[in-house]
Amino acid sequence: MAASRPSHREGFEIAIICALPLEYDAVSLVFDDFWDEDGDKYGRAPGDYNRYTTGRIGNYNVVLALLARMGKVSAASAAVSLRSSYSRLRVAFLVGICGGAPQAGDDEILLGDVVISKTIVQYDFGRQYPGGFVRKDNISDNLGKPNKDVQNLLVLFETNHNRERLRRRTAALLKQLQAKAIRKKYKSNYMYPGTAKDKLFDSGYRHGRDSSLGIDTVCNTVLNSTCEELGCDEGSLLVRERLKKRRQLELDEPEKAQEPTIYVGSFASGDTVMKSAFDRDRIARKESIIAFEMEGAGIWEEVPCIIVKGVCDYADCHKNKIWQDFAAATAASAVKAVLELFTQTDNTFKTSIQEMPPLLPQHHWIVPFGRNEQFVGRKHILRQLLEMIPPSAVANDCQRVAIVGLGGVGKTQIALEAAFQFRDEYPDCSVFWIPAVDTVRIENAFREIGRQLKVKGIDEDGADIKQLVKAALSQENIGNWLLIIDNLDNIELFFGNADNADSLPLSEYLPFSRKGSILITTRNDEVAVRLDIHEKNTIATAEMARDEALEMLQSGLKTHQTCDIQSTMSLLELLTYLPLAIRQASAFMRTKHISSSEYLELCQSSSKDMVYLLSKDFEDRHRYKESRNPVAMTWLISFQHISSHNLLAVKYLSSMCCLAEKDIPQLLLPPDPLASQLEIVEAIGTLKSYAFITHRKESDSFDTHRLVRLAMRSWLEKEKKLGECVTHVIQRVAEVFPFPELANKDMWMKYLPHAQAALDLPGDTVNRDVKSDLLSSVGSSLHLLGKYRESEAMHRQSFMLRKMLLGEEHPSTLATMGDMAVALRCQGNYKEAEASHRQALSGREKVLGEEHPSTLMSLNNLALVLRDQARYKEAEVLFRQALCGRKEVLGAENPDTLASINYLAVSLLDQGKHKEAKELFQEALRGRERVLGETHSDTLSSVNNMARVLRYQGRYKEAEALHRRALNGRIKTLGEDHPETLGSMNNLALVLRDQSNYTEAEALFRRALDGKSKLLGKTHIYTLLTMSNLAVVLRGQHKNSEAEALLRLVLEEGEKTLGKDHPDTLTAVSNLAVVLRSQRKYQEAEALSRRALWGRTRLLGEEHPKTLKSLHNLILVLRGQCKYEEAESLLHQAPGPRL
């Protein structure tokens, strides 16, 4: 039973004596109550000059005394006075710090461990003879044995079971003391100093030894300096196995590393501070001593005494004060743990009946579950809770704390583990649990509490059970208690509603006591607000950390089921690290004997399979039997709560589940002309309260939970409302989605992922025009981002819809066909792109006329795809035709006209007509700078092309400057991963290669290759060209093997994609021939050189620069084989400088 406040000094049976203020401070933190905060009520006996503090520790009234001075004399005097004032003392505990011997038998003693006295030896009590000191050890000279009461307690601690029990309890109380010190803002640092500070030097190595001279220097400066200040040689530190294990524990479980070990043995007590390792070891061996202190011998004969001290140093010359506060804390925690095991006796001194308040029997424990041994993680949250929920955390109020979070996030399990840890740390505090699932279970829980408390009338018919329990728990003299109210989610159930105004809401039955504390768990943040729980006492619980989630999944399965760590981590990410989903997955995997990779495959097979798995019930002894356990059912209950009182919130959540899960702009929520601003705020607030959505800071957008989104969609599908919802969402997204251009990229990028998510969902859109328009907008957006494959898919869907709705020759249908063809071309699918462009061109000529801007655009696009196929002459004709038409229809400085000038110049450049190409490039660049500005994407394209001409002319520095301008501009405008930006990297690298700047060129080529491989694919023509260019740079650095491997891959894929005679394929052939020649593989190099020359001559003409380059390469191969006659013959055919 908890001790009541005594009326007289005779009510105190326990004393604690401290020699140092730091020891006194630590002990004061383990007091549960102080009886003298309003002044000394008990006084002292005549002649007693001690100053006392009185209070309660657990079941005992305790008097605490602080010695005026250290040493035996001061201690003996204080003990005599203490006994005169407190005549009914059973035992006095001498509590504080001591020096420890490094060994206790075969065990190693570490700093922070606790030593409890079995006997005391006065090692400095004896006679000094010429030959040495002789300690008195006659029976009459020795200190007596402890009395039987103390002996019976000490013998318990010599058993393994009780010593381990005492150790665990001390460790728990130590954490409580540390937390209390932080709350009270004590200056002392009671935290564990760490194994790095636990240093035991060889007994022969003295503090302050000058290792360079081999002598000892002893002076006040040395004695008062630390080992760090003097630079003590750590090579003289002793290696200790237990310290090594604790160091590893400090890495794995830091909180456990601080837990002290308890030793029971002999103390050496004397009037001198032991600071000699030699004398320490001598006395310890002779007397079987494990600790040294200075006051015990003075108290031992005056009062039955037990010494409980924490080891703060090794009683050697290296001692310092680093460990003193922590050692004092371990000793104080240990003495409280000892008192819990100390048997109470019947007190012959009785107070009057009126003075004896009703006492609350200890260890009231009404919790419906056993401890979850598979509970993992959440250490930070538990640490917060254990600081907040003790009744002593707030002195003048009944503490209220809330755990808030999404259903399935583990609130109940956290509260359950907190309850068990709380019981371990506060054994004199009762714990009650109320499941707030429905009125029946709430009523039953209150009745059970009342029965445990033996509340009068609790079982009578018609009794107001909740009111009786509230009254009982609200009494100050009932003792300390913690009330946990779990699953407090239903606002109407707990706070009442207007339809049932006659009965009091359940919230009115919450007890109030300054010795009580209430912890609630809820998925609805509004509950915490309405219960006036301060925000700092509201713990928002999110999903588990990755390592916690992994440990949780693995704890319930066999090792082989999670050995594929990549699949396991992917599964946990898919489950959003949600504890209930992980528990559910673990149960299914265990039942069906499948691995994490197999379960992941099931989840990813389809949304329906995923929902099925989330809806699968499973057995869980740590959840309510009447409740269904699946994650999906947990959220369905919340959906039902919301739909019963806020339909607008349901409407918003339904729409959000059809959009992407992150960054949903509020503008995409369905407009409701009848809803007021207040109703909108309340609807969004409701969803946030249930943690279904979270509001992004400093923005009008929200995030939804991935699995909630999936469950909500499933619910809509079952209710046959999903198609209608998708229709409204697509309508809304289409309304706000702007026509995509680079200038408004920031705007449409906000809506793009949501448009894609909505378009991916099944649903018959009422207005298919709307869907086709949105598909077209999304396709154009993806094209601007360089995602050509996805762009094609969107445009193809739009084309099929428009063809069905509007007909094949409708302008909108033809426009979408053209967009689709552009996306095909960008993927290197030239044949299909050409066919689509020709069809679009033919249709536009027929419907719109030959001079219509859209027709001219189709003409230009067809020319581009012909150029890609090396049909340069055909392309040039079409480019000139498009340019002529655009000048006439749109004007000379229209952006489309300038684009035609640029394309025509490119076509001329392809054919080696550098002079005319340069003039057109300059015209296009000047026009674009004037009309569009210097940083426009089209202007940068002209800058890039101008640089290409300069490079072909050998003006590398000028070309380099323009390429750098184009690259920097595209990075700013398009981003680093856009295909055009990657193209600029490739082009800059080419001109750097021409200047033999291979290092920077290689780095740029590799960046461009990596980006193109990810964005376009490893076999895309643009990727292969960059790979080929990289190989040439590698050859320039004599990395021929790697260059050859890359070029063979380029050639193989190029022949598949483009054909054997395409110019780009021939470039790969030529480059491979050069690399083989460098390795003197002349036979294959000659064959490839002839192939390149023949192909380029036929395709580009004899005087094209690339043809001439192939000719020169063949000459060099022939010379390498000593075929000089043929080489000379070819040389005379080649124009330009001689080789």
Q: What's 1069's domain CATH number?
A: 1.25.40.10
Q: What is the number of domains present in the chain? A: 4
- Per-residue pLDDT at 540: 87
Of 374, 372, 534, 362, nearest to 453 by C-alpha is 362
- Per-residue pLDDT at 630: 55
Both tokens of 845, joined, read 């000529």
Of 601, 627, 653, the domain-final residue: 627
Which residue's entry shows tokens 């150790």?
A: 167
Parallel, antiparallel, or unpaired for β 60-66 and 14-18? parallel
CB atoms within 10 A of CB 406: 26
Query: Which residues, other chains included, contact 39 with Cβ-Cβ below 8 Å and sequence gap of 6+?
Result: none
Phi, psi angle pair for 506, to nearest 5°: -60, -25
| Residue 873 to residues 863, 866, 867, Cα–Cα distance (Å) | 10, 9, 8
Query: Do both 474 and 578 map to the same domain?
Result: no
Residue 1052 belongs to some domain of the structure:
yes
Query: Do both 515 and 621 map to the same domain?
Result: no
Task: Write down the H helix ranges in 434-496.
Answer: 439-452, 465-473, 491-495
Query: Do both 386 and 332 map to the same domain?
Result: no
Residue 808 belongs to some domain of the structure:
no
Report how far residue 802's alpha carbon sits from residue 812's, in angstroms, rounded to the nearest whole number.
Answer: 7
Contact 255, 377 (CB under 8 A): no
Query: Do both 403 and 491 map to the same domain?
Result: yes
DSSP code of 829? -
- Per-residue pLDDT at 158: 83
Report how far residue 287's alpha carbon sits from residue 273's, in angstroms, rounded to the nearest whole number.
Answer: 18
Query: Do both 478 and 531 map to the same domain?
Result: yes
Contact 307, 117 (CB under 8 A): yes
The continuous run of DSSP H or E covering 307 comes out as: strand 305-313
CATH number, domain of 417, equals 3.40.50.300
Please give the average pLDDT of every successive group of 10 residues along the chain, which has 1139 residues.
76 92 94 84 86 89 91 88 89 94 89 92 71 55 65 82 89 89 84 91 73 47 67 82 90 86 92 86 90 89 90 88 94 93 54 34 75 83 88 83 85 89 83 85 87 85 85 83 87 67 73 89 85 88 84 83 87 79 77 82 70 57 52 63 80 88 89 87 82 79 80 78 87 91 83 90 72 92 82 93 91 93 82 92 92 92 86 90 92 91 89 87 91 90 89 90 92 87 92 92 92 81 87 89 91 80 85 90 92 85 81 90 86 57
Query: Do both 317 and 380 map to the same domain?
Result: no
Query: Do both 317 and 401 map to the same domain?
Result: no
- Per-residue pLDDT at 1139: 40
Q: What is the dihedral of CA 785, 791, 792, 798, to 10 degrees?
A: -150
Of 341, 376, 405, the domain-final residue: 341
| Residue 636 to residues 39, 137, 408, 585, 661, Cα–Cα distance (Å) | 59, 80, 12, 19, 19
CB atoms within 10 A of CB 47: 9
Residue 54 belongs to some domain of the structure:
no
Query: Do both 246 and 179 map to the same domain?
Result: yes
The CB-side HSE value for 870 (13 A sphere, CA atoms) comes to 17
Residue 1105 belongs to some domain of the structure:
yes
Contact 432, 482 (CB under 8 A): yes
Both tokens of 718, joined, read 């079952």
Query: Do both 274 and 405 map to the same domain?
Result: no
| Residue 729 to residues 657, 680, 723, 794, 1004, Cα–Cα distance (Å) | 10, 18, 10, 18, 43
Residue 875 belongs to some domain of the structure:
no
Which residue's entry shows tokens 């229809």?
A: 889
Report how far residue 410's alpha carbon sits from residue 515's, in angstroms, rounded to the nearest whole number.
Answer: 28
The continuous run of DSSP H or E covering 65 comes out as: strand 60-66
Report how far residue 1112's alpha carbon sits from residue 1097's, in angstroms, rounded to the nearest whole number.
Answer: 13
Task: Write down the H helix ranges in 891-1020.
Answer: 895-910, 914-931, 937-952, 956-974, 979-994, 998-1016
Query: Do both 534 and 610 map to the same domain?
Result: no
Amino acid letter, residue 385: L
Give me the domain span that covers residue 423. Answer: 365-541
Of 815, 697, 684, 699, nearest to 746 by C-alpha is 699
Residue 403 belongs to some domain of the structure:
yes
Residue 643 belongs to some domain of the structure:
no
Query: Do both 416 and 508 map to the same domain?
Result: yes
Parallel, antiparallel, or unpaired for β 132-135 and 430-435? unpaired
| Residue 429 to residues 118, 257, 731, 1047, Cα–Cα distance (Å) | 32, 27, 60, 77
Residue 71 belongs to some domain of the structure:
no
Report how far residue 1000's alpha carbon sits from residue 979's, in angstroms, rounded to the nearest whole number.
Answer: 20
Query: Do both 533 and 591 map to the same domain?
Result: no
Task: Point out which residues pair with 540 in neighbouring strands.
Answer: 404
Contact 597, 586 (CB under 8 A): no
| Residue 95 to residues 64, 98, 327, 630, Cα–Cα distance (Å) | 10, 10, 10, 53
pTM greater than 0.85 (yes/no): no
Of 306, 341, 376, the domain-final residue: 341
CATH number, domain of 290, equals 3.40.50
Query: Which residues, other chains included, contact 221 with Cβ-Cβ below 8 Å and sequence gap of 6+?
Result: none
User: Distance between terminal CA atoms of the chain?
Assistant: 108
